[in-house]
Structure 1
Amino acid sequence: MTRTGLMTVVLAVALAGCGGSDEDASAPATPTPLPSATTTPSPTPAPSPTVTAVNQRVVATFDNPWAMVFLPDGRMLVTEEPGQLQLVTQAGAKAPVAGVPRVAFSGQLGLQDVVLDPGFVTNSRIWLSYAEPATGGQQLAVARATLSAGATPRLDDVAVIWRATPATTGGQLGARLAFAPDGRTLFISSGERQQGTPAQELSGTLGKIVRINLDGTPPAGNPFTATAGARAEIWSLGHRNPYGLVFASDGRLFESEMGPAGGDEFNLIESGRNYGWPRVSEGDNYDGSAIPRHATNPIYTPPLVSWTPVIAPGGMIQYRGAAFAGWTGDFILAGLAQQGIVRVRVTGNTATEVARIGLGARVREVEEGPAGSLWILRDGTGAALVELTPR
């Protein structure tokens, strides 16, 4: 298959990915399961029998790309984990952006998400998440900066607004950014760094979804502001590796995260809820020992959808366009182990997988383009930016 021109590929349903959902990395240390563990696996969605034909157009190649966002003029910003931010045209021309903060690049850590400020049209601000070198290891940092997108693009006035605590070693930053619909607060997914128990500890922000004002302070109304010893920016807890974070058109917040050996999740995120990790999961430990399921304890909020075998979800969007008939309103998840994309449909307070589209490569990120086409980032060294259009 060539890397240029328009490639028409008939894509059948892909089988679920095999192996652990830690991006096929070596298995981390795992928490000790509680005595009440059940070995009965929870039901998982069967791959849809739908066969979908799409066109794939390879646009440009990158070194371990992680995220992208479209600018109002149709160009894109693409992050590369080693620490480079690229300004990219839809024809594939690339220009490196100067002034990116120093990142700690190792394994799953590096430069991660990029999003536009709600006031970008007037203030030219962007927001970045990345692994920052720190005493004791690294920590997830979120910074804002002013983008100059001219002939020699650069970032000015870079300022770190928030940092996850504590600093530690290990992978899985989470690191997704999503502005609330009113543009006044920012939600951040913070992974538990393969540490397990910190996801349940309110004294730190590992394994949490956090909510901050645009100056980094915790907003009034966060659920744990009056809890002694708790970090006031915490919105929800009990998360493992949250790589998808999207506000839907109805204003609700949805998240996807990687489970351990099985048990990837698609969740509706609500204030103060505990999603259970590592005390419960729809997957098991990598050594084969069981973890209690969500159904064993009603204090933990179960996922709307779980996957075993895993899909290893990367980025996620809600599709708002019309180019792909019948997809409007569906959530589209990048699949690393699944090697394609997965469609999930939400109806009220329930959700179900409706289709899988195999693309023959690990998919790290998915975004919707200005004309309703889908743009994906393949994963790894020498990976590609690809535009998907209906056939």
Structure 2
Amino acid sequence: MPLNRRQFALAATSSLFAPTILSAQSLKVEPMISGLDAPWAFGFAANGILITERDGALLWFANGTSKRVAGLPEIEVDGQGGLLDLLVPRDFATSRTIFMTYAKRQGRGSGTAVMRAQFDQNTARLSNVTTIFEMAEGSSGGRHFGSRIVEARDGTLFISIGDRGEREQAQNPATHNGTIIRITKNGAVPNDNPFVDALGYLPEIWSYGHRNPQGMALDLSGTLWGNEHGARGGDEINRIAKGANFGWPTISYGRHYSGRKIGEGTNKSGLEQPQHYWDPSIAPSGYMIYSGKQKSEWRGHHFVGSLKFDYIARLSGSPFREAQQIQTDATSRVRDIREAPDGGIWFLSVGNGTLNKLHFSG
């Protein structure tokens, strides 16, 4: 049977979660961990797995056991906000440091923040917990926190922040709403950020004009890509360029939920176009660009989870397009997708509270 918080190992099947064969693609899906409550992100560390749950739990699965990690700061659980993304950086084996994004109380509202902590896998405890960044205050409500975190090749951190439901603020670079920021692992502003010396721009900003980016990944050349939620239609995949304005809400391929037109249309000079968009919306979340380690024909392909239509999109080609939908009972509201150290593809499903693994059988 699939493993839950009281029992963990890297093999399991059951009548409910039996591996599903995708015969055309020679794949099967195997559930690895079950019983998760609103899981948001996961990461591989020290021969185990860390998983965040939005309502404020960090879980550690290793050596056949599971533990709730102690030492988290106060998490503001508000609508879509809570404990969100997780990054296990490349130097974890020596630094024992992890990074997480979360919703932090700010006066009467809350905002996306980033914490750094050292993780002791023997005691399942965090120490030296420090908030290294929090977005500028001023937002309220429980919508559009982002929030993914990616380590760039130079060791700096990219963090995505949603517009917090205040769409016009995504065009206001004096706020962090609707931006992707870049900071160091200490929270400092790198001196080569695009707006360090620009009047009226917050210096952490790398790009702006985003709605609610819930997936980011580096491609094989180190270029940052992101996906983000549109409104009714207009979910996007973007190649993230330094200093670029991605247009929300001035341009969009979607419409307001009321059916009204958004902004000025689908394009405008000086505003970036998406590399791909979905209409109707799939509610994209999680993003992985595959190394090809176990399946060479997928090298460089992009994988995006769908929260709305319960599948994993595989995108590739020129023009860039959705080449395949991987859909089984296990792909229920896919929140996160990542490549394991051995080249395996794992994904986190909110709908059934499971962490799953794709197997290549041919």
* TM-score (norm. length: structure 1): 0.84
User: Which residue of structure 1 lines up, in the alignment, with residue 8 of structure 2?
Assistant: none
Residues 1:155 and 2:126 are matched in the alignment: yes
User: Which residue of structure 2 lines up, in the alignment, with residue 8 of structure 1?
Assistant: 19
Q: What are the Cα deviations for residues 168-201 of structure 1, in whole angstroms up to 9, with x where unaligned? A: 2231211211111121x11110110111011000
User: Which residue of structure 1 lines up, in the alignment, with residue 321 of structure 2?
Assistant: 352
Q: Distance in 2 between matches of 1:214 and 1:294?
A: 38
Matches within 5 A, 1:331-370: 331-345=302-316, 351-360=320-329, 361-370=332-341
Residues 1:88 and 2:61 are matched in the alignment: yes
Deviation at 1:371, TM superposition (A): 2.9
**Residue ranges of structure 2 left out of the alignment (5+ in a row):** 4-11
Match among 68, 76, 83 for residue 49 of structure 2: 76
| Aligned-partner residue type, residue 66 of structure 1 | W
| Aligned-partner residue type, residue 40 of structure 2 | W
Match among 354, 358, 371 for residue 342 of structure 2: 371
CA contact (8 A) 1:362 1:378 kept: yes
CA contact (8 A) 1:74 1:370 kept: no
CA contact (8 A) 1:166 1:206 kept: no
Residues 1:166 and 2:177 are matched in the alignment: no
Matches within 5 A, 1:175-186: 175-183=147-155, 185-186=156-157
RMSD: 2.1
Match among 327, 343, 353 for residue 383 of structure 1: 353
Q: What are the Cα deviations for residues 49-75 of structure 1, in whole angstroms up to 9, with x where unaligned? A: x7664233342321110000111x331
Residues 1:67 and 2:36 are matched in the alignment: no
Deviation at 1:126, TM superposition (A): 0.4
Q: Distance in 1 between matches of 2:72 and 2:184?
A: 23
Match among 116, 122, 128 for residue 144 of structure 1: 116
Matches within 5 A, 1:84-233: 84-89=57-62, 93-150=65-122, 152-170=123-141, 171-183=143-155, 185-233=156-204
Q: Distance in 2 between matches of 1:269 and 1:90?
A: 39
Deviation at 1:390, TM superposition (A): 2.4
**Residue ranges of structure 1 left out of the alignment (5+ in a row):** 13-49
Matches within 5 A, 1:27-66: 53-66=27-40
* TM-score (norm. length: structure 2): 0.90
Classify the secondary structure of the residue corresponding to 1:62. Answer: coil
| Aligned-partner residue type, residue 186 of structure 1 | L
Classify the secondary structure of the residue corresponding to 2:110. Answer: strand
Distance 1:110 1:281, change over 3 A: same
Q: Distance in 2 between matches of 1:322 and 1:228?
A: 45
CA contact (8 A) 1:238 1:274 kept: yes
Distance 1:69 1:105, change over 3 A: same
Of the two structures, which has the highest relative contact order with CA contacts closer than 8 Å and spacing of 6 or more? 1
Distance 1:325 1:338, change over 3 A: farther
Q: Distance in 2 between matches of 1:2 and 1:76?
A: 15
Q: Distance in 1 between matches of 2:280 and 2:82?
A: 27
Q: Distance in 2 between matches of 1:294 and 1:250?
A: 32
CA contact (8 A) 1:321 1:371 kept: no
Q: Distance in 2 between matches of 1:384 and 1:179?
A: 25
Q: Distance in 2 between matches of 1:359 and 1:88?
A: 25
Distance 1:220 1:339, change over 3 A: same
| Aligned-partner residue type, residue 33 of structure 2 | V
